[in-house]
Structure 1
Amino acid sequence: MPPSVAVVTDSTASLPADLAARHGIVVVPLQVVVGADAFDEGSPEATPARVADALREFRPVSTSRPAPAVFLDAYRAAAAAGATDVVSVHLSGEMSGTFESAQLAARDARAEGVRVVCVDSRQVGVATGYATLTAAEVAAAGGSAEEVAEAARQRAADSSSYFYVDTLEYLRRGGRIGAAAALLGGALAVKPLLTIEDGTVSSLERVRTSSRALARLADLAVAAAGDRPVDVCVAHLASPERAAALTEQLAERLADQLHGGSEGDRVWCAEIGAVLGAHVGPGMLAVCVAPRPVPATRPAR
């Protein structure tokens, strides 16, 4: 019997299709626009490689949030499948209009008798994904919509995301970082390390070489993990060798804390999706550390 609370997220949560399906999570795609062509993220046409090539060739690349009607269809389908409530978990509302679209759809769903609780994760990428997985686990354990939503918020708040970009130009183009910050990074010929802080991209520190950036990402991830059980993901865009090297480092340094995680006893490594890739550019390398809830089940009443 399916949980009475359905869990919905968006494609920037970076959940593999089989993992989302296994947990009964509905994923609503954002769109990536290359030139005059728009594609749903996750479709065969919207590949990270296509976005990376377009950015290198200075072709126009942009992204688009789902229309409220798309979310409304997902909420209706969940209700038709037997859900009494829906919890909809999304990337930071400071970074995208996706959360606003979900809220508008939730209002319309409520008028039709479908109750939807929207959660702004205040995160981006797989940190939102981990929050969504926790939401689904609590829902499967019989949690109420409020318990499911709170579990997602707490997992997201406990998570840390760090990333390196070869240039701040792509973030500047997409309006995700100020022009002054982008200019400063370029003028000093530094490699910026960034983080997500209160739902927005924040400068963390600057290093001189990409090898130093990789080492610092590893140190930051280990520090964020502390001595807690964690889920860890390394993500990249068109940088598989550096991602593999960082994954190997973290798998060794955090071996005792990875047991029993969402992806097993290992560091999850994946190429970032087309939508987020459009804003960070080729060469991006990121790590997310998400301490596991204890216990990761329905909270005691």
Structure 2
Amino acid sequence: MSIKIMADSASDLTKNYFTEYDMEMVSLTVHLDDKDYVDGINITPKNVFDAMRKGASPKTSQVSPQTFKNIFTEYAQSKQPLLYLAFSSELSGTYQTAKMMEQEVKEEYPDADITVIDTKCASIGYGLVVLQAAKMAKAGKSKEEIIEEASKQALHMEHIFTVDDLEYLKRGGRVSKTAAFVGSLLNIKPILHVEQGKLIPLEKMRGTKKLLGRMVELMEERGGNFENQVIGISHGDDLERAEKLAEMIKEKFGAKEFLIEYVGSAIGAHAGPGTIALFFLNKSYK
């Protein structure tokens, strides 16, 4: 029986991808204006960013243990292999919850073929890893081959991004209050990256004019072979800048294939409007 790929909504892949590649999706929850919404289902990133511009402070919560238990039990009973590629454990408790439920279900169904992997990736960086796994599954590759390639891609996936206002990351506990205060005071725009699954500030720049150029420079320093990989770009309701960044990359490196999507509702609730994020495989990926 072919393996089923599962991912959560923090991959920032739209429902169309899940349908096209017959993947299982689990959603984080977005709390906005005293209501709970299912990320990727009954709330759009645009809803979240518009609310944040008006002063709202959305919160998020991880996928519930019961959701994982129900899905894992269903796959255990049907004896279909399942590979869940999870959002970075450094940014959400979803991976740990899934691991607990995997163990619980395997106590009842010892032969259940369920594997849970921490990608240490986020947004479209995570989405690119998931899509490659889904394409391999569709092509009939073995579970071992898919796990090996997904793990390798996840390890070598670069995340370089900038946010318009550090205040949003501060509210979510993603950066320190001091960093957020200094940033807003001096109109400093940060460039951050993901290291071992964590958000790490990389550089600070005054104003926004040179930001995209610097992101392209960092891309050149860290990556290569761009014409033979899919470059990911996600944006916080700023398609114009995302497309400008893609054009700069196309001109400089001859990159041909791009995946440009909104930063999803769950990640967007922490990153805020105006976020621009860039994802590619680094030089050490073979």
TM-score (norm 1): 0.86
Report what 1:246 is aligned to. Answer: 245
Q: How does 1:1-301 map to 2 (within 5 A)?
A: 3=2, 5-44=3-42, 46-80=43-77, 82-83=79-80, 85-113=81-109, 114-140=112-138, 142-227=140-225, 229-255=228-254, 257-258=255-256, 266-290=257-281
Q: Is the 8 A contact 1:121 1:153 kept in 2?
A: yes
Aligned residue identity for 1:268: L
**Equivalenced residues, count:** 283
Q: For the residues of structure 1 that align with 2:209 and 2:70, how far apart are their CA atoms?
A: 46
Q: Is the 8 A contact 2:242 2:260 kept in 1?
A: yes
RMSD over aligned Cα, in angstroms? Answer: 2.3
Q: Is the 8 A contact 1:230 1:291 kept in 2?
A: no
Q: Is the 8 A contact 1:109 1:115 kept in 2?
A: no
Q: Is the 8 A contact 2:222 2:283 kept in 1?
A: no
Q: For the residues of structure 1 that align with 2:160 and 2:67, how far apart are their CA atoms?
A: 31
Q: Evaluate the alpha carbon distance shift between residue 290 and residue 149 of structure 1 in structure 2; reply closer, same or farther with a 3 A threshold.
A: same
Indicate the percent of aligned positions where both proteins have the same amino acid.
29
Q: For the residues of structure 1 that align with 2:283 and 2:27, how far apart are their CA atoms?
A: 26
Tell me the CA shift for residue 270 of structure 1.
Answer: 1.4
Q: For the residues of structure 1 that align with 2:13 and 2:249, how far apart are their CA atoms?
A: 20
TM-score (norm 2): 0.90
Tell me the CA shift for residue 145 of structure 1.
Answer: 4.0
Tell me the CA shift for residue 291 of structure 1.
Answer: 6.1
Gaps of 5+ in 1: 259-265, 296-301
Aligned residue identity for 2:70: D
Q: For the residues of structure 2 that align with 1:23 and 1:206, how far apart are their CA atoms?
A: 39
Q: For the residues of structure 2 that align with 1:140 and 1:43, how far apart are their CA atoms?
A: 24
Report the secondary structure of 2:37's partner residue. Answer: strand
Aligned residue identity for 1:212: K
Gaps of 5+ in 2: none
Aligned residue identity for 2:269: A
Q: Is the 8 A contact 1:190 1:208 kept in 2?
A: yes
Tell me the CA shift for residue 79 of structure 1.
Answer: 4.1
Q: For the residues of structure 1 that align with 2:253 and 2:189, how far apart are their CA atoms?
A: 25
Q: For the residues of structure 2 that align with 1:111 and 1:144, how far apart are their CA atoms?
A: 25
Report what 1:299 is aligned to. Answer: none
Q: Is the 8 A contact 2:7 2:25 kept in 1?
A: yes
Q: For the residues of structure 2 that align with 1:49 and 1:25, how far apart are their CA atoms?
A: 24
